[in-house]
């Protein structure tokens, strides 16, 4: 059975499959390889996904959900959610465990469920194209995605009936698509300019090991902003011609926005573009108001330049984190549809001092890399030998350190060690050495100690997979339970970081404060998914619950979402 690679993008989703040494980007019934990541709920209860949903943005924005990826795995109070609530035309409300819900036609949906609709459609496309069932996938996410976002993406796959065999970082996938990292040591910069977001990720590749040196991004910078600037210019022209401001009419402005994108894309190929739009709006007495609009590439470049320059401020930020000069990078990989813009390519070449790699289609490069990884994992599953991982806690495993759950105590001198598992061997498409992905945790993972402080268990940039154990003690006499609260971030104050969830360990033996030792074990797997265990060392009793992540549904509601999906047909 085929395992596919899926680039679940903010704007578009792409599905690819690698078989027999060939990678194929899979097209829908009409030969289209980009699936807009848009879901629209129709008045008759049906759900449409992709192109038909994108068309409904102009006519039913309230029940048409785009850019769900911006919100997936975010908590209700996060900055991103607050911003989205002001910007998005569809309704969002607070759900259980601080997770936001999208409301469409009177029904509530988690963000994972909205993404599941997109993944279901991608799966349908793949099954039709391959002529066989597709139940497993490698799905890509931005390198900056945190635990919650990665887990929610996995849940989306589950709800779509897909086992997500691995989550890999988008820039890593792009590098895989170029066959980079085989053997020689090199550093690469991945410049990813999409529809709604920009990311710059710096990777060190050596002997098939991929290490993220730094990643920086602007989640509100993309081709959509260029479209908006062009649409504003069109609205000015319309106002001048008809004394009617289309900005006051959302439907008319949405039309201009759609046309603006087409003009922008046109100008990637030609020097000037002419557009005639009929019946943009209706004037006095129902008169048709049309628009004739001309734009040259240099006019577009003047509008786009301030936005494009912002991408290089982000690149500088990533370089500063990596503490490397721009000249330290051997290859520059372009990802995202907006890198087709000639101005962008020119400026990337100037900034990095070398021409970027552009052999692979920038819209498809991530899905292709995911498909390559999917094929490699399939080969492993089919019997290539994998060195066994060390037994947790066994010889060479992590040694606990002691730290009371009390405020103000300095960390112990011997911090816990990583039990880094030997890299796993994987199959490879071309028979060369298999790609072994070594990513790092994008943020530190910490436990809350008394007084609201953080005790870091896994440091930022720790290579994954990894496993670390810390020991804590009770903070009060006769304490019968502990609540291990976990957050992601660098701030010493727990509350200033991203709260991930908690594990409760009950039934502690009655004792004085400090006398009961609790071992907290963090395991981060190859996909960057965190599991937290808490064990009472005296009794061996382990908390039965793994980390209960906020904003991610529990099994119960995953089942509910799956049942709802089964009852809903999509097209």
Local structure of residue 284 (DSSP, 8 states): G
Ordered strands of the 64-66 beta sheet? 47-49, 38-41, 64-66
Q: Are strands 288-296 and 453-458 parallel, antiparallel or unpaired?
A: unpaired
By the rule CB under 6 A, 565 interacts with ligand AMP? no
By the rule CB under 6 A, 503 interacts with ligand AMP? no
Closest CA to 473 of 413, 415, 536, 532: 536
Q: Which is nearer to ligand AMP, 192 or 467 (CB)?
A: 192
Contact with ligand AMP (CB under 6 A): which of 73, 195, 217, 435?
A: 195
C-alpha–C-alpha distance, residues 283 and 249, integer Å: 12
- Residue 99 Cβ, how far from ligand AMP at the closest point, in Å? 25
Q: Which is nearer to ligand AMP, 263 or 457 (CB)?
A: 263
C-alpha–C-alpha distance, residues 529 and 73, integer Å: 13
**Sign of CA pseudo-dihedral 158, 159, 162, 168:** negative
Only one of the segments 120-128, 306-314, 338-346, 382-390 lies at the binding site for ligand AMP (rule: CB under 6 A); that segment is 338-346
By the rule CB under 6 A, 217 interacts with ligand AMP? no
C-alpha–C-alpha distance, residues 301 and 202, integer Å: 27
Check 28, 113, 147, 192 and give the catalytic one.
192
By the rule CB under 6 A, 336 interacts with ligand AMP? yes
Which two three-digit tokens encode residue 81?
Answer: 């959610």
Contact with ligand AMP (CB under 6 A): which of 73, 181, 223, 501?
A: 223
By the rule CB under 6 A, 378 interacts with ligand AMP? no
Which two three-digit tokens encode residue 504?
Answer: 């409760």
Q: DSSP of 132-185, one letter per residue?
A: S-EEEEEEEE-TT--HHHHHHHHHHHHHTT-EEEEEEEHHHHHHHHTTTTSSS-
By the rule CB under 6 A, 99 interacts with ligand AMP? no
CA max distance for the chain: 85
**Catalytic residue status for 317:** no
By the rule CB under 6 A, 70 interacts with ligand AMP? no
- Residue 12 Cβ, how far from ligand AMP at the closest point, in Å? 4
By the rule CB under 6 A, 199 interacts with ligand AMP? no
By the rule CB under 6 A, 265 interacts with ligand AMP? yes
Which two three-digit tokens encode residue 116?
Answer: 């599941």
Only one of the segments 154-162, 216-224, 281-289, 427-435 lies at the binding site for ligand AMP (rule: CB under 6 A); that segment is 216-224
C-alpha–C-alpha distance, residues 40 and 46, integer Å: 9
- Radius of gyration of the chain from its Cα atoms, rounded to whole angstroms: 25
By the rule CB under 6 A, 497 interacts with ligand AMP? no
Only one of the segments 211-219, 234-242, 337-345, 541-549 lies at the binding site for ligand AMP (rule: CB under 6 A); that segment is 337-345
Contact with ligand AMP (CB under 6 A): which of 340, 424, 468, 521?
A: 340
C-alpha–C-alpha distance, residues 234 and 527, integer Å: 45
**Catalytic residue status for 7:** yes
- Residue 70 Cβ, how far from ligand AMP at the closest point, in Å? 12
- Residue 148 Cβ, how far from ligand AMP at the closest point, in Å? 22
Contact with ligand AMP (CB under 6 A): which of 206, 249, 268, 459?
A: 268
C-alpha–C-alpha distance, residues 275 and 62, integer Å: 28
- Residue 111 Cβ, how far from ligand AMP at the closest point, in Å? 18
C-alpha–C-alpha distance, residues 517 and 519, integer Å: 7
Contact with ligand AMP (CB under 6 A): which of 150, 264, 485, 521?
A: 264
**Catalytic residue status for 170:** yes
* Contact predicate 104/65, CB 8 Å: yes
**Catalytic residue status for 154:** no
Contact with ligand AMP (CB under 6 A): which of 5, 9, 73, 434?
A: 9
Tell me the CA end-to-end span of the chain in Å, nearest whole number.
Answer: 24
Q: Which is nearer to ligand AMP, 213 or 343 (CB)?
A: 343
Check 7, 60, 439, 526 and give the catalytic one.
7
For the chain, how many residues are written? Answer: 571
Q: Which residues are identified as catalytic?
A: 7, 69, 170, 192
Chain positions contacting ligand AMP, by CB under 6 A? 9, 11-12, 194-195, 222-224, 261, 264-265, 268, 336-338, 340-341, 363
């Amino acid at each position: 059975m085929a395992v596919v690679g899926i680039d679940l993008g903010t704007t578009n989703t792409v599905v690819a499959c690698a078989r027999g040494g060939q990678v194929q980007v899979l097209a829908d019934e009409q030969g289209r390889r980009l699936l807009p990541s848009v879901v629209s709920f129709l008045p008759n209860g049906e759900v449409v996904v992709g192109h038909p949903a994108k068309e409904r943005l102009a006519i039913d924005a309230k029940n048409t959900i785009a850019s769900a990826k911006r919100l997936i795995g975010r908590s209700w109070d996060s900055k991103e959610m607050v911003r989205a609530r002001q910007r998005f035309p569809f309704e969002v409300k607070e759900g259980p465990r601080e997770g936001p819900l999208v409301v469409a036609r009177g029904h509530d949906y988690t963000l994972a469920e909205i993404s599941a609709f997109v993944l279901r459609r991608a799966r349908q496309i793949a099954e039709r194209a391959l002529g066989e069932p597709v139940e497993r996938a490698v799905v890509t996410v931005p390198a900056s995605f945190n635990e919650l976002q990665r887990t929610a993406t996995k849940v989306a796959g589950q709800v779509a009936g897909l086992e997500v065999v691995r989550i890999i970082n988008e820039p890593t996938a792009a590098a895989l698509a170029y066959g980079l990292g085989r053997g020689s040591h090199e550093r690469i910069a991945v410049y990813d300019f999409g529809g709604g977001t920009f990311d710059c990720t710096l990777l060190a590749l050596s002997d098939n090991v991929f290490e993220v040196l730094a990643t920086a991004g602007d989640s509100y910078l993309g081709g959509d902003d260029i479209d908006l600037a062009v649409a504003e210019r069109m609205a000015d022209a319309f106002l001048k011609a008809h004394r009617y401001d289309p900005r006051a009419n959302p439907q008319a402005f949405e039309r201009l926005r759609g046309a603006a994108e087409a003009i922008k894309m046109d100008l990637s190929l030609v020097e000037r573009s002419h557009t005639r739009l009929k019946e943009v709006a209706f004037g006095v007495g129902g008169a048709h108001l049309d628009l004739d609009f001309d734009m040259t590439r240099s006019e577009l470049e003047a509008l786009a330049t301030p936005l494009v320059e912002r991408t290089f401020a982000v690149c500088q930020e990533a370089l500063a984190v990596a503490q490397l000069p721009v000249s330290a990078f051997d290859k520059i990989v372009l990802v995202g549809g907006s890198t087709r813009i000639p101005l962008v390519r020119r400026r990337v070449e100037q900034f990095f001092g070398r021409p970027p790699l552009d052999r692979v289609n920038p819209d498809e490069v991530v899905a292709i890399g995911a498909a390559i990884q999917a094929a490699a994992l399939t080969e492993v599953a089919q019997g290539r030998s994998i060195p066994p991982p060390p037994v947790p806690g066994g010889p060479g495993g992590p040694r606990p350190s002691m730290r009371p759950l009390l405020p103000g105590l300095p960390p112990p001198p011997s911090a816990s060690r990583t039990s880094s598992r030997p890299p796993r061997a994987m199959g490879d498409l071309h028979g060369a050495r298999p790609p072994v992905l070594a990513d790092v945790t994008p943020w530190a993972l910490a436990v809350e100690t008394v007084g609201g402080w953080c005790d870091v268990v896994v440091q930022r940039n720790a290579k994954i997979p990894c496993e670390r154990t810390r020991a804590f003690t009770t903070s009060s006499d006769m304490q019968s339970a502990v609540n291990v609260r976990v957050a992601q971030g660098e701030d010493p104050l727990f509350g200033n970081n991203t709260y991930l969830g908690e594990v409760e360990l009950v039934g502690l033996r009655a004792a004085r404060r400090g006398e009961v030792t609790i071992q907290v074990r963090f395991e981060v797997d190859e996909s960057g998914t965190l599991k937290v265990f808490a064990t009472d060392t005296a009794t061996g009793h382990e908390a039965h619950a793994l980390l209960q992540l906020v904003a991610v549904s529990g099994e119960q509601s995953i089942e509910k979402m799956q049942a709802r999906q089964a009852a809903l047909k999509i097209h």
